[in-house]
Amino acid sequence: MDLNNCQLKVMQENFLNFYEQIGNNNKLSPNIIAGPCAMESYEQMESIIRFLVQRNITNIRVGIYKPRTSPYDFQGLENDGVEIIKQLKGMYSIKVISEIVSPRHIDKMKEVVDMFQVGARNMSNYELLKELGKVDIPVLLKRGISATIDEFLYAAEYIIVNGNSKVSLCERGIRTFETQTRNTLDIACIALIKKYTQIPIIVDVSHSLGRKDIINQIGQALLALGVDGIMVEVHPKPQYALSDSRQQLNFSEFDCFIKNLTNNIENVERVI
């Protein structure tokens, strides 16, 4: 694909920004999307939402249906999770981003979800993408684990040409030969998307890194890239999490991460 002369809609349209798409007037800088990898119980989810809302963070990511590599791993609370989110949205003014794994879940989830997330495994599930193009709910499209940038943009095009232009992208790392991180965060992808399109792009630092010890340094780099948001996983007790325990921040680690980002915003802007 020649990015300079591409006629795809994803390359030409003027997209709403992330806040406008999800309908959240709580415009923080940097834009943080936070929450657990998976909802495990009402108590766990309520404690996380309460913690985040107290910090003025109201874009909540949560796994209700969880596609897992092993069929024996925790798959999420599924329909029970939808009901829990319904209760919690009655208590807190939040916007919920959650993964959609099947077209048959659309009607159930659209009752409580403000933005559908298409996970890396489903980036090439074109039938799902077509159906999401027919609904008036924003879509956050994650890059597939081995997808090229061209394939990433074509996947977004499937949603857009079917009628839904409320689309944002999420770089979450790609699979390479590297073993020190869970995936390899492709910063060139972010720069190219920002250069050639107007589509919002956020970064999932938890899934791209799979570790917590370098998250502050990566956060500073993302500020310099001008990403439209940073997605990060948080859990009250990550060591007991039912999925992705190594990459989820506990509450104190999350506070340190946000403080580090906030302290570096002015420095990054000054350098740029």
Residue 3: per-residue pLDDT: 77
Angle between the N-to-C axes of helices 42-54 and 79-91, in degrees from 0 to 180, rounded to the nearest 10 = 40
Residue 73 pLDDT: 82
Can you give the pLDDT at residue 271?
Answer: 45
The predicted model gives 146-163 an average pLDDT of: 97
| Total-model pTM | 0.94
- pLDDT at site 199: 97
- The arithmetic mean of pLDDT across residues 247-261, rounded, is 96
Question: What is the per-residue pLDDT across 16-63, written as a single tens digit (0 to 9) for each?
Answer: 999 999 988 766 767 899 999 999 999 999 999 999 999 999 999 999
Tell me the per-residue pLDDT of 179-222, one tens digit each, with 9 for 90 and over: 999 999 999 999 999 999 999 999 999 999 999 999 999 999 99
pLDDT higher than 50, residue 252: yes
Is the pLDDT reported for residue 266 higher than 70?
no
- pLDDT for the residue numbered 36: 96
- Give the pLDDT mean for 251-269: 86
- Quick one: what percent of the chain has pLDDT higher than 90? 83
Identify the pLDDT of residue 257. 96
